């Protein structure tokens, strides 16, 4: 007699406003030793992703993020919305729609509870090739800057 079992692992995430991005395309881990490091990535046009800047490795123990300023060089390519700080106050995130093809910089500048400022920089190339028949260019450009605080 053979008995077969099936197992379907499931992971449940808390709906606390944080992002659960896999990989490093839209997530960067800021280091206390290489603060100038830039996260360089290529993404497809019309992708909607959460972009995460994790400062845990750069902040001294006990320091917390109290506010964040997200800025972009190209609001027509990087359309930002919903900036926020994770409940841990050690990382920050923003929702991005990658719109027009081209290049855009994205910068997260955080202010800590002691007044210090740290930043994380992203460099995105938005690809638009090949051009599919359903491709459209919405006319909504995003803002150059969004802020959030605890």
The predicted structure's pLDDT at residue 147 = 98
The predicted structure's pLDDT at residue 10 = 52
Note the pTM of the prediction, 2 decimals.
0.85
CA atoms within 13 A of residue 23's CA, in its CB half-sphere: 5
Q: What Cα–Cα distance (Å) separates residue 11 from each residue in 14, 20, 88, 114, 134? A: 10, 11, 20, 36, 34
The predicted structure's pLDDT at residue 4 = 64
- How far is the first Cα of the chain from the last one, in angstroms, to the nearest whole number? 60
- Please identify every stretch of the chain with a pLDDT value under 50, giving residue numbers as ranges: 11-13
The predicted structure's pLDDT at residue 133 = 80
The predicted structure's pLDDT at residue 146 = 97
Domains of the chain, earliest start first: 27-149 (2.60.40.10)
pLDDT in tens, 58-95: 999 999 999 999 999 999 999 999 999 999 999 999 99
Burial class for 120, CB neighbours closer than 10 Å (0-12, 13-18, 19+): buried
The predicted structure's pLDDT at residue 46 = 86
């Amino acid at each position: 007699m053979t008995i077969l079992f099936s197992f379907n692992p499931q992971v449940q995430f808390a709906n606390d406003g944080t992002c659960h991005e896999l990989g490093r395309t839209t997530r960067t881990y800021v280091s206390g030793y290489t603060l100038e490091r830039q996260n360089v990535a290529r993404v497809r046009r019309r992708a909607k992703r959460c972009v995460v800047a994790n400062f845990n490795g750069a902040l001294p123990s006990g320091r917390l993020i109290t506010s964040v300023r997200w800025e972009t060089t190209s609001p027509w390519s990087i359309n930002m919305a919903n900036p926020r700080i994770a409940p841990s106050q050690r990382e920050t995130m923003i929702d991005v729609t990658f719109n027009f093809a081209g290049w855009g910089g994205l910068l997260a500048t955080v202010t800590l509870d002691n007044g210090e400022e740290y930043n994380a920089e992203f460099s995105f190339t938005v690809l638009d090739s090949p051009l599919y028949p359903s491709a459209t260019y919405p006319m909504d450009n995003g803002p150059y800057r969004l802020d959030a605080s605890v």
